[in-house]
Structures are given as C-alpha cells and as structure tokens.
C-alpha cells in the first residue's frame, strides 16, 4: 500500500513532466499537421541550459532557492524559445507545401543535429548538478517504508497546474489563441483574413519550446543529472502521451502524460524496471491500433 | 544552422546586410548557451567555462555564410529567370534515362569486382569496402520501404539485428552453417516485418515513423535484457565464420581447408577477400531482385501507393497486401545483411543496433535519392569513407548527417539522384511528361 502511494506520487510527477512536453507536440501537430521530431531534443537543450545556469548561479553565490529557480526558468525559457523558433525556420518553413515525407525527414535530421551538437559542445558525459531543492514531507510510514513527498515533486506539480491554467486561458480566451486555432482549421482562410500565418506558426513553436524548457528545468531539479540522450526517450514518451490523449487536444496531452507517467511508475515497481520503456511503446502501438484518435481527440477524416 | 534559411525575395545589398545581421543575432542567441558557455567537472563539482572566441567565430561564420548564400541564391535565381525567358521548354530531368548514370553504374560494378585484386595485399581497403557494401545492401533494403513504398521506417536496424541474432543463435546453438541459416533468417525477419507492418497499416506517415522507432527500441531493449537468449549486453561471441563450400579458412590442419584444396599458401586475407565477394554477391542479388520487383505489378503498386494512397485504393489495389509486402521484403533484405554482419564480425552485441544505425541507413537512402539504386551506393561510399578520413570527421559525422538531411530536403526533396519518376511511362506524343 505504502509502495503504491509512493509510486502514485512519483508517477504523477513524471506524468506532469511528460504532459508539459506533450503539449508542444500536440500544438505543433494541431497547427501544421506534423510531428515535431526535434521537440524532445529541444527539451534536452533546455536541460543543459538549466545545468549551466544553476552552476553559474552557485558560482555567483546566489543561494536563495526561489530566486535561483526563477532566474534559471527565465533564462532557459528565453534561450529555448529561440531554439524553437530556429528549428521551425530552418527545418519546417522552407518545406511547407512540400511532399509529406520531406518535412519529416528534415525534422529527424534536426533531431540528430541537435543531439550531436550538444554532445560535441557540452560533452558526452552525464552532468550532475548540486541538489537545488532538497528535503520533503514524510507522509506516512508503514513497516519501515516511508512514503515521501519531495519538495521538488510539489514544485513540479504546482508549476504544471499553473502553466496548464495559463495556457488554457491563452488558447481559449486571447486573440493569439483565436489566431492559433483558426490557423489549425484553415490556413488559407486565416491568411485571407489578414492574420500572419507564418508568425502564428513561429509563435506556436516558441510556446511549445518554452513549455519544454520548463519541463527541462524541472527534470534537472528533480533528477539532478542530465545527458545528451534524455531527449530521445522523453520525446517518444511525451509523443505517446500526446497520441494517447488525442493529438491536437491540450487537455488530452496532459491526461495522456499523467497516464503514461503512472503506468511507467507502477510498471517499474511491480513488473520489471528493465522493460518499462517497452510498456510505453506497447501502449503507443495498441492505442494507434484500436483508437488512433486517442482518448479525447476527434477522428481524422482524410479528404481528397 | 541559422544560415540555412532560404528567402524568396530578391533584395539590395543593404537589405542583404540587414538580413545577415539578423541571422548573426539569432546565431549569437543560439550559440551563447551551447558554444559560449559550458560546464566542466572540476574536483567533483561543475564549474562554468567560457569559450567566447569560439562563439565569435561561429557568429562571424553565420554572418558571412548568410551573406554569401543570399548572394549565390539571388544570382542563381536571376540566371534561371533569364534562361526561362530564352526557352520556355523545361528540360526533362529524368535521371533514370540518363545514359551517363547508367555507365557510371557499370563502371562502379567493374571497380567493385576488381577491387580485391588491385588491393589484395591491403586488408584495410578490402575491409572498408566490405563495410561500404553492407551499408549499400541495407540501403537497398530500406529503399524498398522508404523509397518505393513511401513508408518512413525509423527502426530498420531492428531487422538487421533480428537477422544477425538469428544466425548467431542458429550457428552457435544448433551448428547451422551460413548458407543454411541465410534463408531461415530471411524468413524470420520477413515475419518480423509483417509483425510490425500489421498494426501500423492504417497509420499515416508520421505515426508510422514513431511506431517503427519504438519497435526498433523494443527489439534493442529485449536484446539487452533477455540475457538467457541473447547474452544481454555482452552479446554472442565466437560465431562461426562462413566457409567456402564447406572448406574453412584456417591454417593447414587435419581437416581439408580452403588453402590446401586449391594448393595455395595459407593467408588470412583469403577470408577477407572471400567475405568481400560474398557481400558483393548478396548486394548484387538484392539489386537484381529489387529492380525486377519494380517491373512486377506489386512493385508498381508500391510506387503508386507512395504517390497517392487514396487513388490506389480507388483503383482496386489492395493496400494491405502492398504495404505488408514492402515491409516484409525490406525486412528480409535487412535480415540478410544482418546474417552477413554476424558472420563477418564473429561477435554481435546490442551496441551495434542502436537508433544511430537506423539514422545512418535512413540518411543513406535519403541523401542518395529515394528510389535510386545508384544513389544509395554513392551515399554509402561518402558516409562510410568520411569518418575513415580522420578522427575529426568521425566525431562530426552524425552532426554532418543531420545537417545534410535538412539541407537535402530543402534543396532536393527527392535526394541527390532523385528518382521519383514512375517506372512505367505513358509514351505517346506530348503526354510523355
């Protein structure tokens, strides 16, 4: 029971992070109908930026945890959204209106490029940082097993909830959200109505990257280690989350993220830790087989 | 990276400078966290190190590169415009009908046949050529799936792994020979191809890509963790090498050996040369097989499916069978390459079958030109030989692959030797194009 509660906490934390990354996939898919393969690597880049920023802050003797967290989040979001913009500009925009396969391949090329660029410039070794947020609350103790709710876990869930609320507001209520949704529905008509479609798409990429940046900072705080390969696995899992929730749907992405996080945590605890990634991939394949539109998505009709 | 952005307007020198300055600013922002700053391990704790000169060089390179690129593009566009004014008839860019390429293909074949004779005393050259040919074969196999059928497969290395492990297990556990195991391994990998293809039949391109990626990872994770079957991370060692019709390549002993049977003095290079001709034979058979398949209705259906799936279904083509056959045949060819790989190395482990390998094979197909057999050969040559040139190239190899994939897609979405033309043409009068 105690183990189950602990895994529930861990799973929800993990799921919140996957959900944040999944929103980036879902938004980009919604607006250009394409999977942004490089999204996982953008998240990885942001984790590296976070490592550098945390190290710099500790060298500058800034020990206040809220201040350093805020500064690092700001820096990471800023630089990572530039990366998101650059990815869209180089790998997607020149290929708009090209064949179906071309943007996919260029996106995979971008993913390989980013991964190797980070490996070359930042080194291939695992980067550990000094713990930023230590401690937690001991919830209950059964037979010597203590269920612990770490402060970093509380932080991750709170930040995710706040971002989700802000994001839902942005998409449903603001003028940018309307532009974004109208681009999803009909790009030509939107352009005819005087909305800058290119700019809207760029902004969507930047927003997705900003959310991935928050996820990257959170993961750096949570695990304390970063390497250039984390984007690959996290990217696939977040994508699975987006598909599970119904690609194109924001609440779906969050729901999918939570489900994937929980399944992973419980699978690792009760079945086998080695095969936890296999579980995710199996879910992905099963969902695509039996419910390709996901839990909250609308079925897609291909028109001629 | 930022220098790749292509613009559509033609602008004055001042506008070009402004544009290049924008690119430089973006490059600066991109470069600060990655190039300008880094963290180094100092006495157990990380310290921030700066590399401002490298960042300055990067920004300057982006600025100059962008200026040059814009200039060249504008000039090219201008020239094309004047040429289009001169004659309105656009030249037919059908690379398949280009006799020069055909001759190049035959020349490459002759060179491949003569290579071990010319370099019989240089084991390194023959070894490298064998590696090139393995990639050529993998590329031709993946070409069926990606180039012809238009199904983006990011987990192709899984089939390569299945082939290699099938041979390794059959030979070490049951004492099967290379030639006995080859068709069996082909059958096994083809069934894996169908296994992967079946659930993904209804999926569109991008979903398919992710699912195949996941499939490749599943196979790798299983190989790492199922220690009783695959030996786990240690892999399988002492896999028997192929023999020449039952004559092993060994120093003279009790049993008849290859050297003794032909009255030659024993030399370890015999096996290297034999392996080279073996993979050359397999690769040529693959090429023949694929080019024959393209003439059959099923091959034509692959290409038609790539161009327009809905139209194909409307014409009464069975989409399921067409896709599954492409998957199965592509997988089988990858499996053959895997069998050869295991037999040549004598040792396999999951290390050899990572996503990077899939990415390299995909890069070969994409860069060479999807659907082009000769393009795959050229791309494999470049991609295998580049890292051999020096350590620097080996380090930057994947970085360059990634960048090249983006550039090629922007510049020539069909690949360098684009072969998107249908094999079957309607050749009557003006309808030929």
Q: What pLDDT shows up at residue A78?
A: 93
Tokens representing B427?
Answer: 């050749």
In a domain, A270, yes or no: no
B194 and B51 in a common domain: no
**pLDDT per residue as tens digits for the range B186-195:** 999 999 999 8
B173 and B69 in a common domain: no
DSSP-assigned letters across all residues of B89-147: ------GGG-HHHHHHHHHHHHHHHHHHHHTTT-HHHHHHHHHHHHHHHHHHHHIIIII
Smallest Cα distance from A272 to chain B, Å: 10
B406·A110 Cβ contact <8 A: yes
B112 and B65 in a common domain: no
B398·A118 Cβ contact <8 A: no
**pLDDT per residue as tens digits for the range A32-65:** 878 888 899 999 999 999 999 988 888 888 778 8
Q: What is the mean pLDDT of each successive set of 10 residues along chain A, which is 304 residues long? A: 86 92 88 85 93 87 85 93 92 82 85 90 84 80 81 91 90 90 87 92 92 93 87 87 85 91 89 82 82 76 58
A150 has which bridge partners?
A: A136
Instruction: Give φ, ψ of A227 to 5 degrees.
Output: -140, 170
| Partners of residue B210 in chain A, C-beta under 8 Å | 35, 236, 239, 243, 284
> Rounded distance, CA B137 to CA B384, Å?
13
| Partners of residue A110 in chain B, C-beta under 8 Å | 402, 406
> Rounded distance, CA A210 to CA A173, Å?
20
Which runs of consecutive H residues, i.e. helices, occur in B226-296?
Answer: 227-230, 258-261, 269-295
Radius of gyration of chain A (CA): 19
DSSP-assigned letters across all residues of A171-236: HHHSHHHHHHHHHHH-HHHHHHTT--HHHHHHHHHHHHHHHHHHHHHHHHHHH-EE-TTHHHHHHH
B39·A52 Cβ contact <8 A: yes
In a domain, A248, yes or no: no
In a domain, B16, yes or no: yes
Best of B409, B412, B419, B420 to disrupt the A interface (most A CBs within 10 Å) is B409
A49·B366 Cβ contact <8 A: no
Find the closest chain A residue to B8 by CA distance.
A94
In a domain, A57, yes or no: yes
Domain that holds residue B67: 2-84
DSSP state of B50: E
B399 and B356 in a common domain: yes
B24 touches chain A (CB under 8 A): no
In a domain, A51, yes or no: yes
Going A135 to A139 to A141 to A147, the CA torsion angle's sign is negative
B129 and B58 in a common domain: no
- Number of domains forming the structure of chain A: 1
In a domain, B98, yes or no: no
> Rounded distance, CA A98 to CA A202, Å?
18
B206 touches chain A (CB under 8 A): yes
B384 and B297 in a common domain: yes
Q: What pLDDT shows up at residue A138?
A: 81
Q: What pLDDT shows up at residue A105?
A: 84
DSSP state of A225: E
Q: What pLDDT shows up at residue B109?
A: 81
B12: how many CB neighbours lie within 10 A of its CB? Answer: 8
> Rounded distance, CA B325 to CA B145, Å?
9
Tokens representing A158?
Answer: 């709170």
In a domain, A235, yes or no: no
Burial B389-407 (b: 16+ CB within 10 A, else e): eeeeeeebbbbbbbbbbbb
- Number of domains forming the structure of chain B: 2
Q: What pLDDT shows up at residue B427?
A: 55
In a domain, B199, yes or no: yes
- 3-class DSSP state of B3: helix
DSSP state of B428: S
Instruction: Give me the residue from B46, B359, B413 closest to A112, CB to CB.
Output: B359
Nearest to A33 by CA among A130, A121, A100: A100
Q: Which residues contact A82 (CB under 8 A, 6 or more apart)?
A: A206, B26, B29, B30
| Partners of residue B362 in chain A, C-beta under 8 Å | 105, 108
Smallest Cα distance from B213 to chain A, Å: 9
Q: Which residues contact B123 (CB under 8 A, 6 or more apart)?
A: B268, B269, B272
Q: Helix count (H) and strand count (E) of chain B?
A: 16, 2
B167 and B43 in a common domain: no
Q: Which residues contact B237 (CB under 8 A, 6 or more apart)?
A: B231, B346, B347
In a domain, A91, yes or no: yes
Tokens representing B415?
Answer: 């690949």
Identify whether the C-beta of residue B211 lies closer than 8 Å to the C-beta of residue A261.
no
E-strand stretches of A253-297: none
Q: What pLDDT shows up at residue A88?
A: 92
B155 and B37 in a common domain: no
Identify whether the C-beta of residue B340 lies closer than 8 Å to the C-beta of residue B185.
no
ipTM over 0.90: no
In a domain, B416, yes or no: no
B153 and B80 in a common domain: no
> Rounded distance, CA A186 to CA B353, Å?
42
> Rounded distance, CA A154 to CA A159, Å?
9
Find the closest chain A residue to B399 by CA distance.
A113
In a domain, B47, yes or no: yes
In a domain, B326, yes or no: yes
In a domain, A243, yes or no: no
Tell me the whole-structure pTM to 2 decimals. 0.84
B130 and B60 in a common domain: no
B380 and B239 in a common domain: yes
| Partners of residue A243 in chain B, C-beta under 8 Å | 207, 210
A48 touches chain B (CB under 8 A): yes
Domain that holds residue A39: 13-229
Q: What pLDDT shows up at residue B188?
A: 93
pLDDT tens for chain B, 433 residues: list them: 444 444 445 567 788 888 888 889 989 988 888 888 888 877 777 888 888 888 899 999 999 998 898 888 888 888 887 776 665 444 444 444 567 777 777 888 888 777 777 777 777 888 888 889 999 999 999 988 888 888 888 889 999 999 999 999 998 888 888 888 889 999 999 999 998 888 777 777 677 888 888 888 888 888 888 888 888 888 888 788 777 766 777 666 666 667 666 767 677 777 788 888 888 998 999 989 988 888 888 888 988 888 888 888 898 888 888 989 999 999 999 999 999 999 888 888 888 888 888 888 888 888 887 777 888 888 888 888 877 776 677 778 788 888 888 888 888 776 666 555 555 555 544 443 3
DSSP-assigned letters across all residues of A108-167: HHHHHHHHHHHHHHH-SS-EE---SS--EEEEEEETTEEEEEEHHHHHHHHHHHHHHHHH
B26 touches chain A (CB under 8 A): yes
In a domain, B327, yes or no: yes
A112 touches chain B (CB under 8 A): yes
Smallest Cα distance from A194 to chain B, Å: 20
B38 and B172 in a common domain: no
B199 touches chain A (CB under 8 A): yes
In a domain, A3, yes or no: no
B34·A48 Cβ contact <8 A: yes
CA atoms lying within 13 Å on the CB side of residue A31: 32
Please count the residue pairs, one from chain A and one from chain B, whose beta carbons lie less than 8 angstroms apart. 185
In a domain, B91, yes or no: no
A108·B5 Cβ contact <8 A: no
């Amino acid at each position: 029971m105690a183990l189950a509660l602990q895994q529930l906490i861990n799973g929800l934390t993990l799921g919140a992070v996957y959900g944040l990354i999944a929103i980036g996939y879902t938004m980009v898919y919604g607006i250009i109908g394409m999977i942004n393969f490089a999204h996982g690597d953008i998240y990885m880049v942001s984790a590296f930026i976070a490592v550098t920023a945390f190290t710099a802050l500790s060298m500058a003797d800034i020990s206040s945890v809220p201040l350093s967290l805020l500064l690092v989040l700001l820096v990471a979001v800023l630089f990572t959204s530039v990366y998101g913009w650059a990815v869209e500009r180089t790998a997607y925009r020149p290929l708009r209106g090209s064949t179906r396969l071309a943007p996919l391949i260029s996106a995979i090329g971008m993913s390989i490029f980013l991964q190797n660029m980070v490996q070359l410039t930042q080194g291939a070794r695992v980067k550990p940082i000094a713990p930023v947020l230590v401690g937690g609350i001991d919830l209950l103790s059964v037979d010597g097993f203590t269920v612990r709710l770490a402060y970093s876990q509380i932080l991750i869930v709170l930040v995710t909830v706040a971002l989700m609320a802000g994001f839902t507001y942005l998409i449903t209520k603001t003028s940018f959200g309307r532009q974004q949704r109208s681009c999803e529905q009909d790009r030509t008509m939107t352009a005819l109505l005087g909305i800058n479609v290119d700019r809207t798409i760029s902004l969507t990429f930047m927003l997705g990257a900003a959310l991935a940046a928050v996820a990257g900072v959170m993961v750096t705080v949570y695990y304390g280690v970063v390497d250039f390969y984390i984007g690959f696995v996290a990217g696939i899992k977040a994508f699975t989350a987006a598909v599970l929730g119904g690609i194109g749907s924001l609440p779906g992405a969050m729901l999918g993220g939570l489900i994937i996080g929980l399944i992973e945590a419980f699978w690792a605890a009760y079945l086998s830790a080695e095969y936890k990634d296999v579980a995710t991939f199996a879910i992905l394949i099963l969902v695509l087989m039996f419910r390709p539109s996901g839990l909250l998505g609308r079925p897609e009709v291909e028109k001629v | 990276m930022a220098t790749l952005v292509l613009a559509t307007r033609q602008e004055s020198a001042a506008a070009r400078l402004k544009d290049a300055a924008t690119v430089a600013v973006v490059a600066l922002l991109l470069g600060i966290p990655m190039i300008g700053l880094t963290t180094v391990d100092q006495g157990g704790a990380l310290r921030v190190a700066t590399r401002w000169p490298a960042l300055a060089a990067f920004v300057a390179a982006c600025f100059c590169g962008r200026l040059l690129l814009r200039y060249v593009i504008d000039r090219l566009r201008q020239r094309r415009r004047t040429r289009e004014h001169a004659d309105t008839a656009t030249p037919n860019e059908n690379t398949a009908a280009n006799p020069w390429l055909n001759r190049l293909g035959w020349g490459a074949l002759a060179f491949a046949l003569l290579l071990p004779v010319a370099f019989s005393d240089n084991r390194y050259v023959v070894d490298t050529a064998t590696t090139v040919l393995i990639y050529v074969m993998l590329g031709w196999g993946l070409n069926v799936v990606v180039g012809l059928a238009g199904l983006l497969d990011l987990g192709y290395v899984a089939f390569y792994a299945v082939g290699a492990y099938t041979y390794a297990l059959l030979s070490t556990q049951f004492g099967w020979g290379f030639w006995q195991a080859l068709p069996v391994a082909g059958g096994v990998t083809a069934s894996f191809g169908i296994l992967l293809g079946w659930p993904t039949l209804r999926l569109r391109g991008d979903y398919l890509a992710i699912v195949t990626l996941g499939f490749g990872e599943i196979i790798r994770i299983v190989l790492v963790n199922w220690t009783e079957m695959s030996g786990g991370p240690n892999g399988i060692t002492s896999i028997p090498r192929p023999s020449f019709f039952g004559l092993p390549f060994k120093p003279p002993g009790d049993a008849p050996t290859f050297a003794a049977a032909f009255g030659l003095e024993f030399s370890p290079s015999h096996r290297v040369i034999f392996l080279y001709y073996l993979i050359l034979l397999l690769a040529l058979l693959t090429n023949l097989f694929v080019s024959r398949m393209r003439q059959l209705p099923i091959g034509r259906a692959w290409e038609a499916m790539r161009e327009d799936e809905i139209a194909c279904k409307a014409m009464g083509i069975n989409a399921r069978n067409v896709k599954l056959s492409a998957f199965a045949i592509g997988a089988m060819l990858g499996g053959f390459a895997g069998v050869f790989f295991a037999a040549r190395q004598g040792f396999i482990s999951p290390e050899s079958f990572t996503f990077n390998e899939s990415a390299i094979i995909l890069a070969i197909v994409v860069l060479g030109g999807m659907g082009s057999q000769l393009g795959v050969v050229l791309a494999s040559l470049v991609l295998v030989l580049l890292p051999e040139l020096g350590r620097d190239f080996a380090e930057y190899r994947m970085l360059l692959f990634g960048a090249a994939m983006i550039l090629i897609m922007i510049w020539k979405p069909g690949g360098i030797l684009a072969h998107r033309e249908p094999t079957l043409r309607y050749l009557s009068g003006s309808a030929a194009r």
